[in-house]
Amino acid sequence: EDKVVQSPLSLVVHEGDTVTLNCSYEVTNFRSLLWYKQEKKAPTFLFMLTSSGIEKKSGRLSSILDKKELFSILNITATQTGDSAVYLCAVLIQGAQKLVFGQGTRLTINP
Amino acid sequence: SQTIHQWPATLVQPVGSPLSLECTVEGTSNPNLYWYRQAAGRGLQLLFYSVGIGQISSEVPQNLSASRPQDRQFILSSKKLLLSDSGFYLCAWSATTSGTYEQYFGPGTRLTVT
């Protein structure tokens, strides 16, 4: 069975801290890995990673994929209260056109 | 640009009543369409996906069904709701031409079955 596991499930830090969120996966036919941010309603797309070792970056957020060890990390530097959200990791299965989601990491940034 | 709509935004229904949630996409043709459910504090569970009109794949056996009567319309239904059907229902679309398949989500419907 295809599986995506995120850790930690919950994280509370102070504004300005740097955080690292983890996502590991076991799937039959990997195509790519996606990160989403979910605040109150719909998840919004952050990154798609297909190749190992190539960092994707957007402002204070960055992510990298390791296809040998089957995991990805999402880094957020200089966190702000607006970064508080649930961060979802998902794996796209080759040929199936569907995503398998992890359970999410709830990140809380305290001022 | 593409937009995705869902309605209603919130719904409170008694056990045993029927359900119909609607999702429409604008600004794209022949999208892949998806229905997910998110229970409180949990990740997203894929319920159904569709690669074309009338083509529905079911991921989880349950008392829900889906239909795609038009290219950009996706409907989630139930004849008799259960308490366990409560949750946040999200519709998503992905482009079939880009080859990347990242999915974009609608605003969701929060369903409470009482």
DSSP E strands, A15-104: 19-26, 30-38, 44-49, 56-58, 61-66, 71-76, 85-93, 99-101
**How many angstroms separate the first and last alpha carbons of chain B?**
38
Query: What mean pLDDT is reported for chain B?
Result: 91
Residue B103's closest chain A neighbor by CA? A45
What is the rounded CA–CA span in Å between residue B45 and residue B110?
Answer: 15
pLDDT of residue B61: 66
Tens digit of each residue's pLDDT, chain A (111 residues): 889 999 999 999 999 999 999 999 999 889 999 999 999 888 999 999 998 888 999 999 999 999 999 999 999 999 999 999 999 999 998 876 788 999 999 999 999
Does the pLDDT of residue B100 top 80, yes or no?
Answer: no
Q: What pairs with residue A26 in β-bridges?
A: A3
Q: Give the residue carrying structure tokens 């990997």.
A: A30
Name the residue with tokens 């795609």.
B68
Q: Which of residues 86-105 of A touch B (CB under 8 A)?
A: 88, 90, 92, 97-104
Segment B53-79 mean pLDDT: 91
Contacting B residues, span 25-84, partner chain A, CB-CB under 8 Å:
32, 34, 36, 41-46, 49, 51, 59
Please state, in angstroms and as integers, the Cα–Cα distance from residue A42 to each residue in A1, A33, A57, A94, B31, following that order: 26, 18, 22, 24, 18
With CB atoms and an 8 Å threshold, state whether A92 touches B101.
Answer: yes
Q: How confident is the model at residue B98 (pLDDT cuts 50, 70, 90)?
A: low
Is B49 close to A97, i.e. CB distance below 8 A? Answer: yes
